[in-house]
Amino acid sequence: MQGVEFIYFPQPNVDYSKCEKWVTACGRPTTGKHAFVVKNVNRNTYICTKHFVGGKGPTAEYPDPIPAVVSNAELEAFKRRKRRKSSSSGDSTFDSSVPTTDNRYGYIVAKAALYSEADLDKSIHNMVGHALTKAVEETGHPYLEDSNTPHRSVSYETIVEAYRYFTQLPEVTSASIRAEENENIISVQSMWSQRDIDRKEKTSFGRTYVLDAAKNVVVSCSSPQEINNQVWNVASPSGKYRAILRKQKDKKGDDKQYLEIWNAVQKVKTINVEGLEKHGKIISDDGHFGSFQWSRAEGHVLYVAEKKRPKASSFFDSKPFSESTESKEKETARGDEFLYYQNWGEQITEQSSTVLCVMDVETGTVSVLESVPENVSPGQAVWAPDDAGVVFIGWIHEPYRLGLKHCVQRRSFVYHLDIQKNKIEKISEDGRAVRFPRFSPDDRWLVYLDTLDSGPHNMCSRLMMCEWERRHDGLKPILDIVNSAKEEEFPGLFTWSVPVHTWLSDSIHLVLNTFWGSRSEVVVVNTQTKSVVRVRPDLASWSSTVLDIHGNHVVIGCSSPNQAPYLIFGTLVPSDLGSSQWLRLDNKSEVITSFEWQIIQHSPSSDRVHPKYGNLDYESILYLPKGSSVNGSKPPLILFPHGGPHSVCDGSFAFQPAVYCHCGFAVLLVNFRGSLGFGQDSILSILGRIGDQDVKDCKSAADEVIEKGLADGTKVVVCGGSHGGFLATHLIGQYPDYFKAACARNPVTNLTSMVGTTDIISWVFTEVGETFSYDTQVDATILSKMWDASPVRCIKQVKTPVLLQVGLKDLRVPPSQSLEYWKMLKANGVPVRCLTYPDSNHPLSEVEVEADGLINSILWFCQHLTSQ
């Protein structure tokens, strides 16, 4: 392995003079806050091999380190001096018994290190960079190697190899900032997720960066450490304690949860929360119900759990009913063994009714807050000022629950529960759906997001605010719905999440994430002037997402289609955002050299202009294999529309298109009208027009790319999941000669049969332009609209071979949608192959399933691109 290695530093108690010599030689400051002197050296001190002439560590000729940052001229001078002096130091030469360091990752890293951040970053950079370069060098673009006979040049081994290279790129999942006692010293704890195809799972690992905010430098960075069983890990406001919720299998193999309290040096206690039998499972950070928060006084932890269910027993269970068992007996429900508990749909099947719980850290006792109305499932709870109560979101679950995943419009309220007075009040307006309540650092202001409580499953949000003490005087929108926006203007707030800490220290500015065209942007909102300003921490990355805020410090995840995620730390100056300071925590992650990408703007042709909303432009992201037009051979094209339809391809690093493009395909991700980030009119424009407007937007985007000569119009395939699969199956029905192959993951194929089976019935009504209410019945007129919008309508035209990928546990688009389509294709003599994944639900995102689906799709495309 090329690159940097780390070796142990000589220990003062073993060889004081060598230690002292090395300390001086490596040229670190010996005074000031970050002084490096002999007394700082301990068993965890390492030195990077780049500190030695030759860059490979101590040699007989150059046994001692030199400062890391030396110019070539300085290095030559050092060598000359050394030659003149000859080797007269008397020091022992390199001791081969130096203990080896951790090399689990194929390169050697140190735990607490004496090295420059750049050194470590270079080693990672090299590792990933070499891997990818090697992949292209050794395998070429599998498809492009011989574009006339691609089926011969591509083997699954080649694709597997390419797949493996991409699994080396971790994705950041969260980060939190903590200030040490010395306020300039900041630590950033980051969590990452990485595919491990051999273990068939995603592994999580943590890395901690220690920064000197005043000097804007990274002081040290821990090696990655795998952390797989933490459900929550949250620091107390002072940073003195941590509450960790851990899941662990018991001897029977059942998942158990334990709540642990840690101080700076040790675990203080473990509470077997399930053993207390107060509630069901504590809910994780699921983006819907879950929250886990210390009280300001640090005496309590607030969390959300599934409600305890009464024990059900059979009618024939003949336990004697005695005095001593009376109270227990009352808790059991005879004949309820098979009672149906409705859940919250796709991927939220463990939640039915939730409860708010408070754990007393001192005593380890748990109280379930009882005053939440019966028809409400609470979640996203935060402590109210003075810890006197809690503020939470309550979703109304009567008359029945509609799936919550990817659906922001579910009827809900912001509630305040005064714990002492046991009094509950509604804060938000009626007729709305609300999310993410957040108090300002001075506890004066409360903000949250709201949308209509009906209509499309995602849309433009309002940012609402009230002054807490005067909350009864009303709420004001800080950001309102934006119907349409000109180029570069703010298109409205479109977001799936708001960081737990979202305010800057002045309690005036908020930092939020939003989709802005085909991009994820971080914006600073001034709640007084209502201005919205984008902050772009790094011009080298296209998309950014704020992960945590502390004071005026922010940590932001950055990436681009061809750049793996990395972190940037920033110190914002709210009055002059342009002078904010940025610091890259990881060295620039590898730019994937096998492809390039660009944004393409589209204006619908005059026949496609919306009758009500007029001209609405849209965009797409085109990935192009590098060198694909060499010798005039154009790459085949994968048209890849997103699902939703109210979602967006935001230009952050995306695994699937990256693998496709690395394998030699041009990939076109289309943000057709109806996507997030282009104003509310764009969202509304598609309602009643799915299967038509969106289909034409995608087809014409592909036409434009082909007309520009960027891809081969005779080699076009299409793929997509869910609504993207709906578009793929529509496209092959409406343009039977255009596509050589199609791949659809859990596609919506027939709305008339899906309306009774999906967890989000409302979607079917809304998207065909009908109003949904819980008691609406489908009649012949509505059914015919649904039929007209369905891909099965054009089944007779389909000629394109179809690969179906089906999660048998999908609640969103039930497998019957794919299987119904499969039967029709079979009956009509169209080549079809169907992969069913027994334990998968809608996204097919389990590592093994994702890999199987991805590789099969590439092989399917290659097979049918050549068999004409």
Ligand X SMILES: CSCC[C@H](NC=O)C(=O)N[C@@H](Cc1ccccc1)C(=O)O
Contact flag: residue 292 with ligand X (CB under 6 A):
no
Indicate whether 722 belongs to the interface with ligand X (CB under 6 A).
yes
- Is 813 an interacting residue with respect to ligand X (CB under 6 A)? yes
Catalytic residue, candidates 810, 818, 840, 857 = 810
Least distance from ligand X to the Cβ atom of residue 560, Å: 20
- For position 535 contacting ligand X by CB under 6 A, the verdict is no
Residue 628's nearest CA partner among 654, 600, 663 is 663
Report d(CA 356, CA 377) in Å as an integer: 9
* Interacting span for ligand X (CB under 6 A) from 187-195, 756-764, 802-810, 845-853: 756-764
Choice between 432 and 812, CB closer to ligand X: 812
Q: Which of 721, 747, 791, 815 binds ligand X (CB under 6 A)?
A: 721
Distances (CA, A) of 429 to 153, 228, 495, 771: 61, 40, 20, 21
Active-site residue flag, 352: no
Question: Per-residue string for binding with ligand X, 421-460, x by CB under 6 A?
Answer: ------------------------------------x---
Q: Taking CB under 6 A as the rule, does residue 378 contact ligand X?
A: no
The SS3 call for residue 461 is strand
* Cβ pair 221, 209 in contact under 8 A: yes
Q: Which DSSP letter does residue 38 get? A: G
Cβ nearer to ligand X, comparing 438 with 457: 457
Mask: binding to ligand X, 455-474, rule CB under 6 A, as x and -?
A: --x-----------------
Is residue 722 among the annotated active site residues?
Answer: yes
Residue 399 CA to residue 414 CA, distance in Å, equals 20
763 binds ligand X (CB under 6 A): yes
CB of 714 to ligand X, least distance (A): 28
437, 644, 677, 814: residue in contact with ligand X (rule CB under 6 A): 644
Q: Which residue matches tokens 């819907």?
A: 288
Q: How far is the CB of 722 from ligand X (least distance, A)?
A: 3
Spacing of C-alpha 801 from chain mean position: 33
Shortest Å distance, C-beta 625 to ligand X: 24
- Residue closer to ligand X by CB (options 457, 501) is 457
Residue 723 makes contact with ligand X by CB under 6 A: yes
Choose one: 369-377, 417-425, 720-728, 831-839; the region binding ligand X (CB under 6 A): 720-728
Site for ligand X in 645-684 (CB under 6 A): 647
> How far apart are the C-alpha atoms of 634 and 862, rounded to whole Å?
15
Between 289 and 569, whose beta carbon lies closer to ligand X?
A: 289
Q: Which is nearer to ligand X, 763 or 822 (CB)?
A: 763
**Quick check: 410 binds ligand X (CB under 6 A)?**
no
Using alpha carbons, list the distances in angstroms from residue 707 to 613, 711, 786.
28, 8, 34
Do 182 and 194 meet the contact criterion of CB atoms below 8 Å apart? Answer: no
Residue from 142, 651, 843, 853 binding ligand X (CB under 6 A): 843
Residue linked to tokens 């080298």: 540
- Specify the residue, 142 or 814, whose C-beta has the smaller distance to ligand X: 814
Closer CB to ligand X, residue 271 or residue 751?
751
Which residue's CB is nearer to ligand X, number 16 or number 774? Answer: 774
Rounded Cα distance, 858 and 143, in Å: 9
The Cβ of residue 263 has, within 10 Å, a number of other Cβ atoms equal to 11
Sign (positive/negative) of CA torsion 835, 840, 844, 849?
Answer: negative
Least distance from ligand X to the Cβ atom of residue 808, Å: 15
**403: number of Cβ within 10 Å:** 23
Q: Which of 748, 803, 830, 832 binds ligand X (CB under 6 A)?
A: 748
Contact of 791 with 739, CB cutoff 8 Å: no
Q: Which range touches ligand X (CB under 6 A), out of 162-170, 231-239, 577-585, 757-765?
A: 757-765
Q: What does the angle CA 401 – CA 403 – CA 406 come to, to the nearest 5 degrees?
A: 145
Region of 37-45, 212-220, 697-705, 722-730 interacting with ligand X (CB under 6 A)? 722-730
Provide, rounded to whole angstroms, the least separation between the CB of residue 645 and ligand X. 7
Q: Does 643 bind ligand X (CB under 6 A)?
A: yes
Q: Tell me phi and psi for residue 856, to 5 degrees.
A: -60, -40
Using the rule CB under 6 A, give the single segment among 29-37, 325-333, 618-626, 643-651 that binds ligand X: 643-651
CA distance 799 to 731: 11
Q: How far is the CB of 424 from ligand X (least distance, A)?
A: 31
Residue 125 binds to ligand X (criterion: CB under 6 A): no
**Distance of closest approach, residue 847 Cβ to ligand X, in angstroms:** 17
How many whole angstroms separate alpha carbon 822 and alpha carbon 826?
6
**Least CB distance from residue 497 to ligand X, whole Å?**
12
Site string for ligand X, 611-640 (x = CB under 6 A): ------------------------------
Q: Does 509 bind ligand X (CB under 6 A)?
A: no
Active site residue 842: yes
* Residue 300: closest CA among 367, 233, 370, 380: 367
Query: Which residue is at the shortest CB distance from ligand X?
Result: 643
φ, ψ of residue 463 in degrees (nearest 5): -100, 115
Number of residues that bind ligand X (CB under 6 A): 17
Which residue of 300, 785, 812, 864 would you call a contact of ligand X, by CB under 6 A? 812
E strands, 572-617, are 581-584, 595-602
Could you tell me the CA-to-CA distances from 611 to 189, 305, 788 in Å, in that order? 51, 48, 20
Tokens of 171: 């994705």
- Scored b (16 or more CB within 10 A) or e, 483-496 reads ebbeeeebbbbbbb
Report in angstroms how near the CB of residue 842 gets to ligand X at its nearest. Answer: 5
d(CA 94, CA 107): 20
State the Cα–Cα distance between residues 21 and 304, nearest whole angstrom: 56
**Site for ligand X contains 758 (CB under 6 A):** yes
How far does Cα 698 stand from its chain's mean position?
A: 26
Residue 119 vs 650, nearer CB to ligand X: 650
If one asks whether residue 747 binds ligand X (CB under 6 A), the answer comes out as: no
Q: How far is the CB of 361 from ligand X (least distance, A)?
A: 38
Question: Judged by CB, which is closer to ligand X: 527, or 749?
Answer: 749
Q: Please identify which of the residues 722, 762, 818, 840 carries the catalytic annotation.
A: 722
Nearest to 509 by CA among 448, 435, 441: 441
- E-strand stretches of 297-411: 300-306, 312-313, 333-334, 354-360, 366-368, 376-383, 389-396
Closer CB to ligand X, 583 or 748, in the complex: 748
Catalytic residue ranges? 722, 810, 842
Residues within the interface to ligand X (CB under 6 A): 406, 457, 643-644, 647, 721-724, 748, 758, 760, 763, 812-813, 842-843
